[in-house]
């Protein structure tokens, strides 16, 4: 059974500066200086095609940093104006969508904690009606392919055709060296059901630590995934969220240099 989706190829809506496609930036925008410095260093590597930063952060437990909020849109706009990089943010409700679109955000993404909830995804889809913005849809936190597909269908039915899926791994009770189990077979199944759907990989949230990121990134490319979303921070160990898994911009550049893309002719 093939999925009946109307999807535009990635290269028609996203300019890749340097293969492989890398979307990078901090897990969270923390301060204007942190975001701008990170953005400039990432842009200077020449390896990054899109700047990402979370400004509304879904946290598992209350009382932790829940994102800098709407002011972060102003910082992102400035980062875009100064570096020329298109900008991407996570949206989790209609208000986020409206604010992000009003601010001229280039790409929206739906996080793993939103993809699990059809009400949330439908609310986002309704807010997207009549807009033509690219939307990246992370897999749900739990290994449920149907929920992932359902979210993609809801956004597609709202008229969004510039869609990519992001494989960020799945929660599991098994003891593992990964923060989220890759369960590659689910991403592969999705590709089989919808060959025209671009699938990117997020090694940062799969690994949960810096050390494993090169291995997962290369494996994703070997499986023909079309790009990577990798968290990077000016000073990862002091990051307000996901400190263990973020790379410095220099480490990101080094990783990008070492990654190889399979020649489709071979
Ligand atoms: C993120 O990208 O910072 C994030 C919260 O990711 P996920 O939704 O994959 O957990
Ligand atoms: Mn994160």
Q: Is 168 in the pocket of ligand 1 (CB under 6 A)?
A: yes
Residue 106 lies in a domain: yes
Going by the DSSP 8-state scheme, the letter that residue 54 receives in this structure is: B
Whose atoms come closest to the Cα of 54: which ligand?
A: 1
Residue 229 lies in a domain: yes
Q: Under a CB-based contact definition with an 8 Å cutoff, are residues 134 and 13 in contact?
A: yes
Tally of helices (H runs) and strands (E runs) in the chain? 10, 8
Q: Under a CB-based contact definition with an 8 Å cutoff, are residues 163 and 226 in contact?
A: no
- What phi and psi, each to the nearest 5 degrees, are found at residue 45? -70, -25
Cα of 263 vs centre of ligand 1, distance in Å, is 30
Residue 265 lies in a domain: no
Query: Quick one: pLDDT band at residue 263, thresholds 50, 70, 90?
Result: confident
Residue nearest to atom 4 of ligand 1 (CA): 111
Cα of 224 vs centre of ligand 1, distance in Å, is 22
Residue 231: CATH number of its domain: 3.20.20.70
Residue 86 lies in a domain: yes
Neighbours of 9 (CB within 10 A): 12
Q: pTM to 2 decimals?
A: 0.98
Cα of 92 vs centre of ligand 2, distance in Å, is 14
Residue 4 lies in a domain: no
Cα of 112 vs centre of ligand 1, distance in Å, is 6
Ligand 1 pocket: which of 138, 203, 236 to mutate (most atoms <8 Å of CB)?
Answer: 138
ipTM metric:
0.99
Residue nearest to atom 5 of ligand 1 (CA): 111
Residue 3 lies in a domain: no
Residue 2 lies in a domain: no
Residues 230, 231, 235, 237: is their CA dihedral positive or negative?
negative
pLDDT at 163 over 80: yes
Whose atoms come closest to the Cα of 55: which ligand?
A: 1
Q: What range does the domain containing 80 cover?
A: 10-57+65-258
Instruction: Select from 38, 22, 19, 35 the least CA-distant residue to 68.
Output: 35
Residues 190, 192, 198, 203: is their CA dihedral positive or negative?
positive
Burial annotation 105-124 (CB, 10 A radius, 16+ → b, else e) = bbbbbbbbbbbbeeebbbbb
The per-residue pLDDT for range 58-91, each reduced to its tens digit, is 998 999 999 999 999 999 999 999 999 999 999 9
Residues 244, 228, 45, 33: is their CA dihedral positive or negative?
negative
For the chain, percent of residues with pLDDT exceeding 70: 99
pLDDT at 4 over 80: yes
Whose atoms come closest to the Cα of 24: which ligand?
A: 1
The per-residue pLDDT for range 46-55, each reduced to its tens digit, is 999 999 999 9
Average pLDDT for the chain: 97
What's the structural domain count of the chain?
1
Query: Residue 113 CA: which ligand 1 atom is closest?
Result: 8
The per-residue pLDDT for range 16-31, each reduced to its tens digit, is 999 999 999 999 999 9
Residue 1 lies in a domain: no
């Amino acid at each position: 059974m093939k999925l009946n989706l109307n999807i535009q190829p990635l290269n028609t809506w996203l300019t890749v500066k340097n293969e492989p496609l890398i979307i990078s930036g901090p897990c969270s925008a923390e301060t204007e200086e942190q975001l701008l410095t990170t953005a400039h260093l990432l842009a200077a590597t020449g390896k990054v095609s899109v700047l990402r930063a979370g400004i509304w952060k879904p946290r598992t437990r209350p009382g932790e940093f829940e994102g800098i909020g709407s002011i972060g849109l102003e910082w992102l706009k400035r980062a875009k104006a100064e570096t020329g990089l298109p900008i991407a943010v996570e949206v989790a409700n209609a208000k986020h969508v409206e604010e992000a679109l009003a601010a001229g955000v280039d790409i929206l993404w739906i996080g793993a904690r939103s993809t699990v909830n059809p009400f949330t995804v439908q609310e986002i889809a309704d807010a997207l009606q009549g807009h033509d913005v690219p939307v990246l849809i992370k897999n749900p936190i739990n290994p449920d392919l149907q929920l992932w597909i359902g979210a993609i269908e809801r956004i597609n039915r709202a008229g969004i055709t510039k869609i990519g899926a992001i494989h960020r791994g799945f929660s599991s009770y098994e003891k593992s060296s990964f923060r989220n189990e890759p369960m590659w077979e689910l991403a592969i199944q999705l590709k089989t059901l919808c060959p025209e759907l671009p699938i990117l990989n997020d090694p940062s949230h799969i690994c949960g630590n810096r050390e494993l990121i090169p291995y997962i990134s290369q494996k994703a490319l070997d499986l023909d995934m079309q790009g990577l979303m990798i968290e990077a921070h000016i000073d990862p160990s002091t990051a307000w969220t996901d400190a263990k898994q973020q790379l410095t911009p220099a480490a990101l550049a080094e990783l990008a240099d070492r990654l190889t893309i399979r020649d489709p002719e071979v």
